[in-house]
A and B are shown apart, each in its own frame.
Chain A
Amino acid sequence: MALLEVSQLDVRFALRQGEVRALRDVSFTLDRGERLGIVGESGAGKSVAAFSLLNLISRPGFIAGGRIVFDGQTLNTLSERKLRKVRGNRISMIFQDPMMTLNPVLSIGEQMVECLKAHRRISSKAARAIALDKLRQVQIPSPEKRLDQYPHELSGGMRQRIIIAIALLLDPDIIIADEPTTALDVTIQAEIMALLLDLCEQHNVGLILITHDLGVVSQVTQRMLVMYAGRVIEQGPTREIINDPQHPYTQGLLNALPQMATPGEKLNQIRGSMPSLAKLPSGCAFHPRCDFMTRQSGEPRAACIEQVPGFVGTGSCRVACHMVAEMLEDRRLKEETP
């Protein structure tokens, strides 16, 4: 059994104008020490997925259904008190913007020690020693000095290193990193990512990496999920998806990488934009933007507009797309009738 099993996760936001479904039917697993990437445009539900794992979605959001099983415990039905023992201890998080994540009025040492003290019976002195050790691991220059400094005295890159150190404080099983490098300077993004990858490998920590940087996903993760409008639309081994994406949306994302464009030409893009979760298109939510919705004969495929696509397997990947399903079906029929 996998370390973390998420099945049919359903997250909704009760807004004044009605319920908005931020996540539907999201299922995935994570093994010990495995690294999973979750990609998608803004608004696809990546962050909501990350926060709902530890039940950290704030009102009016709530988990309406599904199960999150971590090491035998069902997290979404756990009492707040028991859940608190998992948070920061066995599953820790790295937030997007290091400038906003640390409390501006508490010293770095305080913010590290309080985390240790929340989960272990430990003296302040011992906690400081552990904090110092973790600061060394994230290669912060003169770590002794940092404990007494305040967040505003440190650069963004240093702050994110500290947040990685805090994430590692209690030797967690899983780190959930929500776009850990997006807010950073491009020159240090790679540094921070390499550090995170290195430490996860060293300590055999599972990583759920949320990002829209496909380059990072392909370098760091073993498996990936592609999300669109609150659903998973493609999942499987990262290498396979990057090399041979099946879903038109995934293809579009990969095509949109600047590396894919001919120099001097316009960059490729997926036309249109992510629909609002409150007004999702019928059927496959991607169909208004999809280039493959029309058959070669010119008429649109009715299923795309009317039916939500289910998953079909292609090799070790699973894709939710009518077009792919149809292709597979055609291939199967051809093989059956030689």
Chain B
Amino acid sequence: MIAFLIKRLMHAVLVMFVISLLAFAIQDNLGDPVAQMVGQSVPESERQALRERLGLTDPFLVQYARFAKNAVQGDFGNSYFYGEPALEVIGRHLPATLELVFAATLIIVLFSVPIGVYSAIKPRSLISRFFMSASIIGISIPVFLTAIVLIQIFSIGITVSIFPDATGWGSWLNGLLSTSGNMPSFGRGYDLVHVFGSWDTNLATLSGLQHLVLPAVSLASIMLPLFVRLIRAEMMEVMQSEYVKYARAKGISMRRVYFVHALKNTMLPVITVGGVQIGTMVAYTILTETVFQWPGMGLMFLDAINRADIPLIVSYLMIVGVIFVVTNTVVDLIYGLVNPTVKLTGKPA
């Protein structure tokens, strides 16, 4: 176990090293950070002085070596824009993003398993067919479009008037399809509860949760159909296996065959893919957070790119890399618990 974790730690370090190198390599193409930092009236000589003070005129390797030396000591440099350590800026934005990803993951887990299992068990039923068609649509619509549609329907509200309003059934249908649109669509709201450090949570109050719903749903909108289809496909394959047939031949109830024999095996590849996808979702938050002005890392990163705030960009990319490694490690640990044929410890059985 310890050996496994140490190996993963080395992974994380390697990932951070490669990412930082790549991020540094593209910094010249991101624009001039000085232009963002000072007003237009500042003369060129002063700008040049600032560049030199920031070390931007040094050769690439010198800059990188300086960064790496500080980074090893936990100092990722100061954000040009905020003027404070990049890690602190990220730390301030991280909780919002993690809560958003957590909520979206919860939605995905709660819905994908029942829907996927149902449509695998009853592939011909109308409900399954509906879910399969809906999932194709879900996968193909980009997140930002989903987000805008959600805002239109649930925050702005839509008035349906295609049915004749004069008739009773018409106005009833119009009323049914129209939405009042009072869901918040902007930011995290003000009812945040302080937990510790820079972590204020949306999860503790009703208003906080309401703010979380639309961003979480739109973030989940791509992954949910993906997982529904993955679980369905895996489950259908497992249902064809000999051991499921054998379980039936033993006279076990179908419920136990589905949910113990089949589902446990179905979840093995789903867990693996899930680990990678949680990391990917952190990246997807850039779109969602921008549409909903969710003050998380994604929005911060987009701003940092606009401002060519290189220390912040590099730190963000490295942190996301670490999140990837951490989620994958956690997923591997879970996988080891579910699948008895995997031994993480390397101990003799």
Contacts and interface: CB of A to CB of B under 8 A. Distances in A.
Indicate whether A and B interact: yes
A265 interface: no
A56 B249 contact: yes
A113 B256 CA distance: 13
B260 interface: yes
B198 interface: no
Contacts of B241: 100
Contacts of A92: 249-250
Contacts of A77: none
Contacts of A88: 249-252
B92 interface: no
A84 B253 contact: yes
B246 A101 contact: yes
B70 to A, nearest CB: 47
Contacts of B242: 95, 97, 100-101
Interface string A147-181: 00010110000000000001000000000000000
B265 A87 contact: no
Contacts, number: 79
A97 to B, nearest CB: 7
Contacts of A104: 243, 265, 339-341
Contacts of B248: 56, 87
A209 interface: no
Given A87-B248, A118-B250, A106 B264 contact: yes
A87 B249 CA distance: 6
Contact of A105 (B245, B247, B264): B264
Contact of B251 (A86, A95, A100): A86
A119 B242 CA distance: 21
A115 B246 CA distance: 11
Interface in B211-255: 240-243, 245-254
A56 B245 contact: yes
Nearest to B256: A114
Contacts of B341: 104-105, 150, 152
B250 A101 contact: no
What size tier do the contact residues of chain A reach? 20 to 34
Given A88-B252, A103-B243, A106-B260, 18 more contacts: A84-B251, A84-B253, A85-B251, A87-B248, A87-B250, A88-B251, A95-B242, A95-B246, A100-B242, A102-B246, A103-B246, A105-B341, A106-B264, A114-B250, A114-B256, A115-B250, A118-B251, A152-B341
A119 B339 CA distance: 28
Contacts of A152: 340-341
Contacts of A166: 250
A100 B243 contact: yes
B349 interface: yes
A115 B243 contact: no
Contacts of A115: 250-252
B61 to A, nearest CB: 51
Top-8 shortest CB links A-B: A88-B251, A87-B251, A88-B250, A100-B242, A150-B340, A93-B249, A103-B243, A115-B250
Nearest to A55: B248
B260 to A, nearest CB: 7
A196 B268 CA distance: 35
B106 interface: no
Given A103-B261, A104-B341, A105-B265, A118 B253 contact: yes
B14 interface: no
Given A84-B253, A87-B249, A115-B252, A102 B243 contact: yes
Contacts of B254: 80
A58 interface: yes
Contacts of B338: 105
Contacts of A118: 250-253, 256
25 contacts: A54-B249, A56-B245, A56-B248, A84-B251, A88-B249, A88-B250, A88-B252, A89-B251, A93-B246, A95-B242, A95-B246, A100-B241, A101-B242, A101-B243, A103-B247, A104-B339, A105-B265, A105-B268, A105-B338, A105-B339, A114-B252, A114-B256, A118-B253, A153-B349, A166-B250
Contacts of A106: 260-261, 264
B264 to A, nearest CB: 5
Contacts of A107: 340
B235 to A, nearest CB: 14
Nearest to B240: A58
Interface string B68-96: 00000000000000000000000000000
Interface in A97-132: 97, 100-107, 114-115, 118-119
A244 B100 CA distance: 78
